[in-house]
C-alpha cells in the first residue's frame, strides 16, 4: 500500500512539474530564418494549440496560424507558432500576435550576417505530436552567448512553493489536531471491542473445558 | 468577449473560495490569540464598556472577552485587507497585459 501511495504522489508531482515546465516562460537565443503562416486542422494535438485572435470567430474548426522558423546556436532548427492566448489558458494575455509576427519578420537574418534574438516562449516542440512552442516576445540580443536570468520564474516558483508549503503545514497541523484524535478514538473503540470478544471467548472456552473435568485444565 | 466573460466568472468563483477560506482562517487565528491571552491572564488592558456596565471594569467572563475582541476584529483594517484577494489579481492581469503586448 505504501508503494501505491508513493506512485500516486510521484505521478501527481510529475504532472505538476510538467505543467509548470510547459507553461512558464523560457528564452531561447536563436536566429530567425523566416516567418510564414499555415492552415492548421487541429487533431488529437488540439490541446497544445492556443486560441484564434481575440475578436475573431472562435467556433471555426481550422484556421491559419503564424509560424517563426529559427536556427539555434548549434545550427539545429526550432520552429515556433505565434498565436494569441487571449483571455484563456495559459494566462499570458497575449493579444499582439500580428505585431509580434511583424517584429519577428523584421529580425530575419542570414547565416553569414546573423542577428541573434531572444525568443520568449512557452510550450514544447514535439515532432510526433506536431506541436510547437508559442512565441510570446522577441528581443534583439548582443550575441549567441547572452545569458538571460529568468527573474519571473525565480519569483514565481519561490512564491508558488512557499504557498504549497504553507498550506501543507497547516493541513498537517489541522489533521494532527482534529482528525487523528477521531481515528485514535475509533481504533481505541475497536481495541475495546476486540478485548471484549476475546474475554468472552475465553470465558466460553473455560466453560467448555469444565465439561471435561478438572484434570483436563491446562 | 465570451472568453473574457468566462475568465471573469471562473476567476470570481475561485477568488471567492480563496476569500472565504482566508477570512475564516484569519478569524480563527484571532480567536485563538484572544483565548490564549485570556488563559495567560494577559488581557491587553481591555476593559468592558457596554450598556449594562457603563462605568467600565475588567472582564469577568471569558466568552464576553472573546466576543468583544472579535467585534473589534470585525471593525478593524485586517478583514478589509483580505478583500485584496480580489484586487491584487486584477492589477496583476492589467500589468501582465501591458508587459506582454505594449512594453
Among the partner-chain residues B3, B100, B101, the one whose CB lies closest to the CB of A88 is B3
Q: Is residue A10 part of a domain?
A: yes
Per-residue model confidence (pLDDT) at position A24? 95
> Does A53 reach chain B within 8 Å, measured CB to CB?
no
Gap between the Cα atoms of B96 and A144, Å rounded: 28
Cell representation of residue A111: 547565416
The answer to whether the CB atoms of A87 and B3 lie below 8 A apart is: yes
Phi and psi based region of residue A93 (left: phi greater than 0; alpha: psi -120 to 50; beta: remaining)? left
Residues A84 and A174 in one domain: no
- Please report whether residue A217 resides in a domain: no
C-alpha cell at A217: 485444565
User: Domain segments of chain B: what residues?
Assistant: 2-101
State the Cα–Cα distance between residues A202 and A199, nearest whole angstrom: 5
Whether residue B96 and residue A93 make contact (CB cut-off 8 A), yes or no, is yes
Shortest Cα distance, chain A CAs vs residue B97, angstroms: 5
Q: What does the pLDDT look like over A122-157, one tens digit per residue? A: 999 999 999 999 999 999 999 888 889 999 999 999
What pLDDT score was predicted for residue B43?
63
Cis (ω within 30 of 0) for the bond into A90?
yes
Are residues A58 and B3, on separate chains, in Cβ contact within 8 Å? yes
* B92 touches A: beta carbon within 8 Å: no
How do residues A177-213 score in pLDDT, each as one tens digit? 888 888 888 888 888 887 777 777 777 788 777 777 7
Are A167 and A104 in the same domain? Answer: no
Tell me: pLDDT of A54 over 60.
Answer: yes
Final residue before a domain boundary, out of A146, A180, A201: A146
Listed in sequence order, the residues at least 6 apart from B3 whose beta carbon sits closer than 8 Å to its beta carbon are A51, A54, A58, A86, A87, A88
Closest chain A residue to B89 measured between Cα atoms?
Answer: A91
What is the rounded average pLDDT of the residues A5-13?
A: 94
Check A92 against B96: CB less than 8 A apart: yes
Q: Does A204 lie in the same domain as A119?
A: no
State the ipTM, two decimals: 0.70
Q: How does DSSP classify residue A215?
A: G
Q: Residues A21, A23, A25, A28: what is their CA dihedral angle, to the nearest 10 degrees?
A: 60
Same domain, yes or no: A53 and A132: yes
Whether residue A194 is contained in a domain is answered as yes
Are A99 and A123 found together in one domain? yes
Q: Does A104 touch chain B (CB under 8 A)?
A: no
In this predicted structure, the answer to whether residue A100 has a pLDDT above a threshold of 70 is: yes
Residues A63 and A109 in one domain: yes
Helix residue ranges, H only, chain A: 2-23, 97-106, 151-174, 180-211
The pLDDT confidence band at residue B51, using thresholds 50, 70 and 90, is very low
Within an 8 Å CB–CB cutoff, is residue A107 touching chain B?
no
Residue A153 lies in a domain: no
Q: What is the CATH number of the domain that holds A101?
A: 2.40.50.140
User: Who wins on pLDDT, B32 or A1?
Assistant: B32
Over chain A, what is the mean pLDDT?
89
Residue A218 maps to a domain:
no
Q: How many independent structural domains does chain A possess?
A: 2
| Host domain of residue A163 | 158-211
Q: Give me the residue from A87, A88, A96 closest to B101, CB to CB.
A: A96
Chain B positions touching A95 (Cβ under 8 A) are 97, 100-101
Residue A40 sits in the same domain as residue A105: yes
Cα A174 to chain centroid, rounded: 27
State whether residue A137 sits within 8 Å of chain B by CB: yes
Shortest Cα–Cα distance, B5 to chain A (Å): 9
A–B CB contacts, 8 A cutoff, strictly below: 33
Residues A25 and A131 in one domain: yes
Q: Report the Cα–Cα distance between both ends of chain A, in Å, rounded.
A: 41
By C-alpha distance, the chain B residue nearest A95 is B101
Q: Does the CB of B6 have a partner CB in chain A at under 8 Å?
A: yes
Residues A195 and A95 in one domain: no
Residue A49 in domain: yes
Amino acid at each position: 500500500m505504501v508503494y501505491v501511495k508513493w506512485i500516486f504522489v510521484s505521478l501527481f508531482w510529475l504532472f505538476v512539474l510538467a505543467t509548470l515546465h510547459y507553461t512558464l516562460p523560457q528564452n531561447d537565443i536563436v536566429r530567425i530564418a523566416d516567418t510564414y503562416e499555415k492552415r492548421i486542422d487541429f487533431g488529437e494535438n488540439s490541446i497544445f494549440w492556443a486560441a484564434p485572435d481575440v475578436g475573431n470567430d472562435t467556433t471555426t474548426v481550422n484556421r491559419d496560424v503564424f509560424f517563426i522558423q529559427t536556427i539555434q546556436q548549434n545550427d539545429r532548427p526550432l520552429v515556433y507558432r505565434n498565436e494569441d492566448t487571449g483571455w484563456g489558458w495559459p494566462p499570458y494575455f497575449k493579444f499582439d500576435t500580428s505585431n509580434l509576427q511583424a517584429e519577428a519578420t523584421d529580425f530575419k537574418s542570414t547565416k553569414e550576417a546573423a542577428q541573434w534574438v531572444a525568443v520568449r516562449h512557452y510550450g514544447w516542440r514535439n515532432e510526433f505530436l506536431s506541436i510547437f512552442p508559442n512565441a510570446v516576445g522577441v528581443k534583439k540580443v548582443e550575441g549567441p552567448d547572452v545569458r538571460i536570468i529568468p527573474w519571473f520564474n525565480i519569483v514565481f516558483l519561490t512564491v508558488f512553493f512557499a504557498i504549497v508549503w504553507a498550506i501543507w503545514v497547516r493541513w498537517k497541523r489541522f489533521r494532527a489536531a482534529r482528525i487523528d484524535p477521531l481515528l485514535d478514538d475509533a481504533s481505541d473503540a475497536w481495541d475495546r471491542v476486540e478485548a471484549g470478544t476475546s474475554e468472552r471467548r475465553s470465558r466460553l472456552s473455560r466453560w467448555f473445558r469444565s465439561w471435561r473435568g478438572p484434570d483436563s485444565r491446562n | 468577449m465570451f472568453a473574457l466573460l468566462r475568465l471573469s466568472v471562473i476567476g470570481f468563483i475561485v477568488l471567492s473560495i480563496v476569500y472565504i477560506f482566508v477570512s475564516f482562517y484569519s478569524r480563527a487565528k484571532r480567536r485563538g490569540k484572544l483565548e490564549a491571552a485570556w488563559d495567560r491572564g494577559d488581557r491587553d488592558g481591555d476593559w468592558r464598556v457596554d450598556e449594562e456596565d457603563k462605568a467600565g471594569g475588567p472582564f469577568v467572563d471569558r466568552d464576553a472577552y472573546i466576543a468583544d475582541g472579535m467585534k473589534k476584529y470585525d471593525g478593524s483594517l485586517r478583514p478589509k485587507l483580505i478583500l485584496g484577494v480580489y484586487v491584487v489579481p486584477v492589477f496583476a492581469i492589467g500589468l501582465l497585459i501591458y508587459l506582454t503586448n505594449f512594453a
